[in-house]
Amino acid sequence: MSEPRTPPPTAAGAQPDGGNRLPRAVLRTNNYELLDGEWFFAIDDADCGLREGWHLGHRYEHKAQWPGSIEDHMAAAKGHMASAWQDEVVAWYEREFTLPARPDGQDNHLYQLTFGACGYETRVWLNGHQLRTIEGEDVHYGEYTSFSYELHEAHLRPVNRLTVRIADTMDAETPRGKQESHVYKRGGIWYQTQTGAVRSVWLELVERNRLRSRVGVDSTIEDQLVRFNLSTRIQDPGQYTLRLQVFERATDQPMATSDFPLKLEAGQRQQRVVMELPGAQLWSPESPTLYRLVGQLIDANGHAAQIETLFGLRKIESRGRYVYLNNQPIYLDGILYQPGTATFEEMQRHMHAMQALGCNLVRVHIAGVDPRIYNLADELGLLLWVEVPSPHSSTHRSRENHRAELLRMLALIESHPSVVIWSLYNEDWGAQDIATNPETRRYIVDMYHYMLIEHPQFLVVDNDGWQHISQEGRLKSDLLTAHLYTPDLTRWQELLDRLVAGELEGTAAFPLVVGDPFFYRRQKPLIVSEWGGFGFPDYGGPQDAAARTAAIVAFKQELRRRPIAGDVYTQATNIEDERNGLIDPHTGELSVPTGLLNSRSSGSGETTPER
């Protein structure tokens, strides 16, 4: 069993490249114990574990390393290289842990168990007692974000038995991203499932009355105001003070402090507060200035429960034909990134490599990633375009699951200045009837409006690639995006000319707009959000790396000669059957010259936004 860990470094000295060992963006000044490592493991082929009470005691046949996917654990247990399941899978994990000693002066603390990500359907028992998440779930659904349990003293022992049941199916109504389902089978652009115990699990002592590990940030740069969204978790109702302090990274003297008195009932509550930060520098790719926020919830006895995080001030805007960052026009040199089964360390290498390619934007394609990757993007100054992992069918239930996944992701990553764009859907996956079903369009429009009101710090794309929704002539997307694929330069020039002329049909695979008529008239920024895909001859591409480099340069020059606001090259790394990456998925080495995708200073006759 692992030994109790020392507290993580304060945010002022945190290293996104590895200093924070926990997959979360917000830090606590407390002790924690990782429960990663060897667990007992069994596949429940007959799904009889619940009926037979495996959580009360069971003899497990195998062992598995947590974190790790069920697929890898099945393969190791059966002694061969690959293992797949075709309909549903149920896995059980169990281990014991010794309860860490409670330090002196922490009688007002309780033990909290957090899963960095686990799914799709997770049940947890402590010494045979089923746990309920802080949100009140007996069963947690989802596999991309963290969830926590408070452990009741009555159920704790000196040595404790932790049992976890994880179930997943090929259900097309659940958010799956590009993992196969009953609708889209593995092969081509669809990948093997990777489910289960995919991130770390840890035990920590937290205050009974505290701030939860989630902070939202929305800055209004013109009046130097910053809005913070924080969540309180209260066991003991009463009067509290929320104290926020903002520090420059290298100093211990706060540049701003504010107290907010709150009368709090038991349970969880979200609270928005506003602070003024005169003289604060803005965050941008050229100058990724970050500040340190220390939040304290102080009770009537003066005890302070504390969290820390880094944040930046920035404004993103869709205005006319162009995207503006901090009221300055910016061209988005982007790349499509599909992390797949990459480890945290490999994803770090990928991020550095994408920046070395000259990208200022990374489109994280319908996947959830370790939260520390968002921290790294904040540090590097890389803009991120994130997306909800899509379901594969369009039903009322799939939309409910989609909304729940979106809200979970927003709660955990709304603090990052690097995250500037959200896609609700991609290429109609999970919204295949977008052109014919008013209910589908109504849901997407409602979520677009929700994002505009509740999260104005982001640009929102309704359905990336084609079939954007127009309602009464108003596009329900901040960007008009198109996926254009062709290896022929002449055809590429023709497609781009038709796109900028406002031809909404015949450019992408489907019409660019559905619903009511929409007259482009250059009122929305055009983004070619997927193009290229230039592999080698066995993938229908150029003969060698030099030929691929030349093609990318030529295609990129055509983009910059037109009033287009940005582009996203496909793609960063090879993944399964898609062999069109520019970066080695393991080492992070480039197969093309550095700076290849940087068109912002190329001087190649590109258009510039009017000031």
Residues 62-112 pLDDT 10s:
999 999 999 999 999 887 545 678 899 999 999 999 999 888 777 889 999
Using alpha carbons only, give the angle 121, 127, 128 rounded to the nearest 5 degrees.
60
- Residue range 239-255: mean pLDDT, rounded: 95
466: amino acid identity, one letter:
W
Q: Domain check: are 258 and 372 in the same one?
A: no
Task: Give the per-residue pLDDT at 39.
Answer: 98
Give which of 564, 493, 559 is closest to 525, Cα–Cα: 564
Q: Domain check: are 239 and 355 in the same one?
A: no
Q: Is residue 20 helix, strand or coil?
A: coil
Q: Is residue 495 helix, strand or coil?
A: helix
Tally of domains in the chain: 3
Task: Give the per-residue pLDDT at 19.
Answer: 57
Task: Give the per-residue pLDDT at 537.
Answer: 82
User: Could you tell me if 82 and 73 are in contact, meaning their C-beta atoms sit under 8 angstroms apart?
Assistant: no
Using alpha carbons only, give the angle 524, 527, 531 rounded to the nearest 5 degrees.
160
pLDDT for residue 152 is more than 90: yes
Q: Domain check: are 203 and 245 in the same one?
A: no
User: How many C-beta neighbours within 10 Å does residue 318 have?
Assistant: 22
Inside any domain, residue 68? yes
Which CB contacts under 8 angstroms, 24+ apart, belong to 551-556? 551/487, 551/489, 552/592, 552/596, 552/597, 553/596, 554/489, 555/489, 555/492, 555/531, 556/597, 556/599
Residues 416-459 pLDDT 10s:
999 999 999 999 999 999 999 999 999 999 999 999 999 999 99
Q: Domain check: are 219 and 298 in the same one?
A: yes
Measured between alpha carbons, how far is 460 from 368 in angstroms, rounded to an integer? 17
Structure tokens at 183: 């609708």
pLDDT for residue 508 is more than 80: yes
pLDDT for residue 203 is more than 70: yes
Q: Domain check: are 328 and 433 in the same one?
A: yes
Count CA atoms within 13 Å of residue 370 on its CB side.
27
Inside any domain, residue 222? yes
- Which CATH number fits the domain that encloses residue 541? 3.20.20.80
Inside any domain, residue 186? yes
C-alpha dihedral sign at 369, 373, 375, 379: negative
Q: Which of 150, 185, 207 is the last residue of a domain?
A: 207
Inside any domain, residue 31? yes
Residues 300-325 pLDDT 10s:
999 999 999 999 999 999 999 999 99
Residues 528-570 pLDDT 10s:
999 999 998 877 788 899 999 999 999 999 999 999 999 999 9
DSSP string over 555-608: HHHHHHTSS--EEEEE-SB-BTTB---SB-TTT--BSS-TTTT--TT--SS---
- Residue range 488-506: mean pLDDT, rounded: 97
Q: Which of 293, 311, 329 is the last residue of a domain?
A: 311
CA 13 from centroid of its chain's CA atoms:
23
Q: Domain check: are 300 and 353 in the same one?
A: no
Give which of 184, 205, 180, 183 is closest to 193, Cα–Cα: 180
Q: Which of 207, 224, 243 is the last residue of a domain?
A: 207
Q: Domain check: are 178 and 259 in the same one?
A: no
Q: Domain check: are 471 and 363 in the same one?
A: yes
Inside any domain, residue 430? yes
CA distances from residue 324 to 172, 319, 520, 568 in whole angstroms, order as listed: 37, 7, 19, 17
Q: Domain check: are 145 and 219 in the same one?
A: no
Inside any domain, residue 484? yes
Task: Give the per-residue pLDDT at 172.
Answer: 97
Residue 287's domain spans which residues?
Answer: 209-311
Give which of 351, 371, 285, 332 is closest to 573, Cα–Cα: 351
Inside any domain, residue 602? no
Return mean pLDDT, the chain.
Answer: 93
Task: Give the per-residue pLDDT at 460.
Answer: 98
Q: Across-strand partners of 362?
A: 335, 384
Q: Domain check: are 330 and 236 in the same one?
A: no
- Which CATH number fits the domain that encloses residue 228? 2.60.40.10
- Which CATH number fits the domain that encloses residue 146? 2.60.120.260
Measured between alpha carbons, how far is 40 from 62 in angstroms, rounded to an integer? 6
Task: Give the per-residue pLDDT at 250.
Answer: 85
Q: Domain check: are 292 and 332 in the same one?
A: no
Q: Domain check: are 201 and 213 in the same one?
A: no
Inside any domain, residue 592? no
User: How many C-beta neighbours within 10 Å does residue 431 have?
Assistant: 27
CA 258 from centroid of its chain's CA atoms:
30
Task: Give the per-residue pLDDT at 83.
Answer: 64
